[in-house]
Amino acid sequence: MNDKKQISESIERIKAEIDGRARLLAATKTVPPELMNFAIGCGIDLIGENRVNELLEKYEHINRNKTEIHFIGALQTNKVKYIIDKVDMIQSVDRESLALEIERQAAKHGIVMPILAEINIGNEATKSGIEPEKASEFCRFLGSLPHVSLRGLMAIPPKCDENRNNCEYFCKMQKIFVDISHQNVDNSIMDILSLGMSDDYLSAVECGSNLVRVGSAIFGKRNYNL
């Protein structure tokens, strides 16, 4: 993992590259709270966590005053209750059963949970997410739930080799995003397109992403054995 000097320089560089065109979410899986808080001190105001247990372990130690927390990982339905009052958005809503449980838990807490619909833009068998062909129908379903607020779409496109740029998938996502925005789904404000990670955030922004999720380009290579 990078030291603090590298983290602060990376944040500054990435922000300069994005140049106000997108929000920068720091993906903090495996990053200890001390370094998360350091990044927050360097101007990060949005963090994304992937695992419920890890989020719960770190939650009390995170400087949350001005920091939004998004959940961005695979989410088991029976774990929604642990994070419903701790996160500001769930980006990884990939199936009806999960959306229904978020609806149920949000209603119980008297809140409306902002969410993104996760799209399996590469139609990959191994990946979660709604098939692109079913995105519009899924968004209409989400719009029928009073305690969730659909704010947009997210995707993790297939790994591409250097010759074949991810822009193909990013552009497909932008098209779906615009199509659904024009459908005026109930209970929705389609203002977030969450695309792009460490290797491709700039091309994502060029293809219309307005929220990039960056981990290793800020914090360095992850060590999963910690």
Ligand X SMILES: *Cc1c(COP(=O)(O)O)cnc(C)c1O
Report the C-alpha gap between 48 and 56 in whole angstroms.
13
Residue 38 near residue 47, CB atoms below 8 Å: no
Among 10, 50, 149, 210, binds ligand X (CB under 6 A): 50
Beta strands in the chain (DSSP E): 23-27, 46-49, 68-71, 89-93, 113-119, 148-155, 188-194, 211-214
Among positions 73, 158, 208, 220, the unique one binding ligand X when judged by CB under 6 A: 73
Burial 117-129 (b: 16+ CB within 10 A, else e): bbbbbbeeeebbb
Residue nearest to ligand X (CB): 215
The one among 187, 198, 208, 220 contacting ligand X by CB under 6 A: 198
Considering the complex, what minimum distance in angstroms separates the CB of residue 186 from ligand X?
A: 27
Structure tokens at 15: 């922000």
Nearer to ligand X, 94 or 101 (CB): 94
Tokens 């949350």, residue located: 64
According to the binding rule CB under 6 A, does residue 72 interact with ligand X?
yes
* CB nearer to ligand X: pick between 27 and 135: 27
Measured from the CB of residue 108, what is the shortest distance to ligand X in angstroms?
A: 27
* Window of 39-47, 108-116, 136-144, 207-215 that interacts with ligand X by CB under 6 A: 207-215
152 is a site residue for ligand X (CB under 6 A)? no
CB-based burial label for 64 (10 Å; 0-12, 13-18, 19+): middle
Q: Is 197 in the site for ligand X (CB under 6 A)?
A: yes
Q: Which residues bind ligand X (CB under 6 A)?
A: 27, 29, 50, 72-73, 156, 197-198, 213-217
